[in-house]
Structure 1
């Protein structure tokens, strides 16, 4: 256990200590709920805390483990889910005031699978409106625990803040253009955007269905691997879920020895601010020291798809929201209102051109993975992303693509990526970087992440709260 604090214990630590009776799932759940009660009024990571049901689930887990009925690594472990994930009888807002009282009559598949694994569900996590980058005016913004003046990331900000602040052991986020990866880099969390279709999206409120993914956010790659194994796999309720077998993601020794790691100096660092570039270079030096075969490559251009992301997402989102938009347009925030209005105006020819660019990018990227196993890239090109600076970038069509150029294109291609903490900028804010893999390369991404985190301690740094 980390420093004797159960709120910062790993999945493996909790699994071991629950089995030996050194820790009680009830006591660990109570410690998390007390910490949430103390810090959530400041951080706003949770929209709903399920204290009574969480304690009941913890008691049930403790009884089962005591009888020798251990379900696996997540049994009794406190988790939380982004409030896009349906929970039976519990409001699922998607960060939208218009859905404040929406109570689904079933659980999302990912929620059901966490329950089947014996995890203790602490609550529903805050997010930007409809999984976009802006909070609805009726909800308080999630606060970055490292600095209240800095961005907490995009849509899955509550999921990342809860994990790094010790308000859960691990969480679920979703990612349509970077919404797992940007909160992880801004808050010093570890997050995995799986291959498109690796995790069922049944019962998860959509943003743009052909880009959406659900994935784990945690404090380490190993913990993310445990969560991914619990939630991944085929689902009869989701025909887009892949049929591929789900492996044990933490079975292999953590190593990058002889792994071919590709790096494009211009494509990855061109126009990137110095603090970010330094983190990426140091990450490359670390994996090279660990025995990786670092090779120079040429990334296919990412800016064209980043520039088209809003158009494409707006069109798919317009279908998702057709029952409430434009009929209730006044109840939406500025960003979602504008992206949906834009989606209604997109022509079939525009969509066809973007689809063509999408297929070309995906094809070139797949060919690149004939020569390398992983790519190293930033998450964001900018450091010191204060809230004031973000406002200037977010609503500017000329600068928004720059925020998306290392994230959105990999939603278009469906490739998995893992975001790892890699350092801090000159202002003390965390900076992460990504490993990108070929489709279904999650085992390698997690193994590489574990190797990197075995050689560094960035993921162990805690915010000053």
Structure 2
């Protein structure tokens, strides 16, 4: 394989290597399967490996390329699927015991669209129970390839670990309160949470329907744009999918950052975030300024605090709905964290729920006004840089601390806003730290452009864990 370190190539590099015949989809897929067999017994990122399906799709892609047929940037690229995406004839567990033997009879729309784009499906990736904040006690969690004792992020933990460790070139993640952004930050990846409704939720098992976003987790902003382009679009089977055309997210990717205005809110970070997180935000601000963006300060609207405080209860009600068929009838099969969330949702009164909903509408309005002055917002992923697993488990037991950990993520699920998470530095102990850019609804193209511009002059996204 002429390409140096092909296991860590970007999708765009693979596409070029395929066209020049330096690499073939079959040999790249075999490389991934060999790495999964070698490394994943320790990392535990895959629930199910679909080797036969992957090789069949790779052979088809190779035959098409031999005829001069190229479907686009995802053609022949091996990817993984979070194990809440229904896959016909392949087990889909949702990170639970209640669906441990569930085999769907159809593919989720996102799975079908990736296949139509020529992607190669390596298998299904591990996740927290029901896509909430903890893995089921009986299911071993994936291990962060940067350090076994450190948090791998939730809930798209397997998606983050597999992509960072060079076991796939990208993965589908979902995000209800931070579940693309947390594992992207923890594993040194680029994660794109699109506008709510930009990607069809048909066939994707829900945590909370009105908060769930589906998006790519990759090694670069360009790859995130390529993968989103294959996934996005209106779907008649999901009436909440947005009926707007899908742009070519790579068309203006080299436009740079001269012109956009970026807002940053130091008052929302000082005294809240740890030193490594503040260092990453300061560096991102400096780089964006040097690239030509105008970075100015703003104050968050008061409704933002209500979003992180309300998110848990709001999510709980929708989670209780999502589990009606199996909870409480199979209560003993649930782990304590997810069961606790469902119980909270079952207890919440209609009046309290509607008060939170009205505040949610107020925040969406406040954010629209904010985006009249700014094109993007620069925010952390969470207040703390990579915690150890032990520390994260302590955070999980403290509701107030958990609310604070949602400070920079949950509000943008409540508003349905698109965000991109980018690697921006490391802790003193060598763990990756990410940051977010938040955009206007349906402005994913600007997020990809901004992320690409940042990654053209920094190398954080090119660094990989030595254990992989």
Pair in the same fold by TM > 0.5: yes
Aligned in 2, Cα 1:346/1:107: closer, same or farther, shift over 3 Å?
same
The answer for the alignment partner of 1:460 in structure 2 is: 462
On the 8 A contact 2:2/2:22 being kept in 1, the answer is no
Alignment of 1:33-44 (within 5 A): 33-44=33-44
Which residue does 2:148 correspond to in 1?
A: 148
Tell me what 2:374 maps to.
Answer: 372
Q: What residue in structure 2 maps to residue 171 of structure 1?
A: 171
Contact 2:386 2:432 in 1 (8 A): no
Question: Aligned partners of 2:352 and 2:192: how far apart in 1?
Answer: 31
Which of 353, 356, 362 is 1:354 aligned to? 356
Q: Which residue of 2 aligns with 1:450?
A: 452
CA distance in 2, matches of 1:74, 1:205: 24
Compute the displacement of 1:124 (Å): 0.4
Q: Is the 8 A contact 1:130 1:336 kept in 2?
A: yes
Give the corresponding residue for 2:257.
256
* 3-state SS, counterpart of residue 98 of structure 1: coil
Cα deviation, residue 3, structure 1: 5.8
Q: What is the CA deviation profile of residues 259-279 of structure 1, one whole-angstrom value per residue up to 9, with x for unaligned ones?
A: 100011112444111110111
Do 1:384 and 1:427's aligned partners in 2 also have CA atoms closer than 8 Å? no
- Structure 2 counterparts to residues 177-196 of structure 1, below 5 A: 177-196=177-196
* 2:423 counterpart residue number: 421
Q: Given that residues 303 and 401 in structure 1 are in contact (C-alpha distance below 8 angstroms), is that contact kept between their aligned partners in structure 2? A: no
Point out where structure 2 has 5 or more consecutive residues left out of the alignment.
none
Q: 1-side partners of 2:180 and 2:158: how far apart? A: 10
How do 1:238-257 residues align onto structure 2 when only pairs under 5 Å count? Answer: 238-252=238-252, 253-257=254-258
Partner of 2:7: helix, strand, or coil? Answer: helix
Deviations 1:189-246 (A, max 9, x none): 1000000000000000000000001000000000000000001000010000001110
The answer to whether the 8 Å contact 1:29/1:55 transfers is: yes
CA displacement, residues 50-102 of structure 1 (integer Å, 9 cap, x when unaligned): 01111111111100110112111111111111001000010100000110110
CA distance in 2, matches of 1:168, 1:67: 26
In the alignment, what sits opposite 1:78? 78
Residue 8 of structure 1: how far off its partner (Å):
1.2
Q: CA RMSD, aligned part only?
A: 1.1
CA distance in 2: counterparts of 1:269 and 1:148, whole angstroms? 30
1:383 to partner: Cα distance: 2.0
Matches within 5 A, 1:334-353: 334-353=336-355
What secondary structure, in the 3-state scheme, does the structure 2 residue paired with 1:398 have? helix
1:385 aligns with 2:387: yes
In the alignment, which residue of structure 2 is the partner of 1:160? 160
Q: State the 1:118 CA deviation.
A: 0.6
Give the drift of 1:396. 1.2
Q: Report if the CA contact (8 A) 1:2-1:10 is conserved.
A: no
- How far off its partner does 1:328 sit? 1.0
Partner of residue 121, structure 1: 121
> Aligned equivalents of 2:150 and 2:6: distance in 1?
28
317-326 or 379-388: bigger deviation:
379-388
State whether residues 254 and 450 of structure 1, in contact with CA within 8 Å, keep that contact through their aligned partners in structure 2: no
Residue 295 (structure 1) aligns with:
296
> Could you give the per-residue CA deviations for residues 296-354 of structure 1, whole angstroms, max 9, x where no partner exists?
11122433211211111110011110011011111111110000001000000110111
- The 3-state SS of whatever aligns with 2:399 is coil
- Structure 2: how far apart are the matches of 1:298 and 1:320? 36
Distance 2:27 2:103 in 1: 30
Q: Name the residue aligned to 2:103.
A: 103
CA drift at 1:414? 0.5
Counterpart-to-counterpart distance in 2, 1:76 and 1:384: 33
Tell me which stretches of 4 or more aligned residues in structure 1 moved more than 3 Å: none
Q: Aligned equivalents of 1:104 and 1:254: distance in 2? A: 43
Q: Identify unmatched segments of 5+ residues in structure 1.
A: none
Distance 2:333 2:202 in 1: 26
What TM-score does the superposition give when structure 1 sets the normalisation length? 0.98
TM-score by length of structure 2 reads: 0.98
Q: Which residue of 1 aligns with 2:232?
A: 232
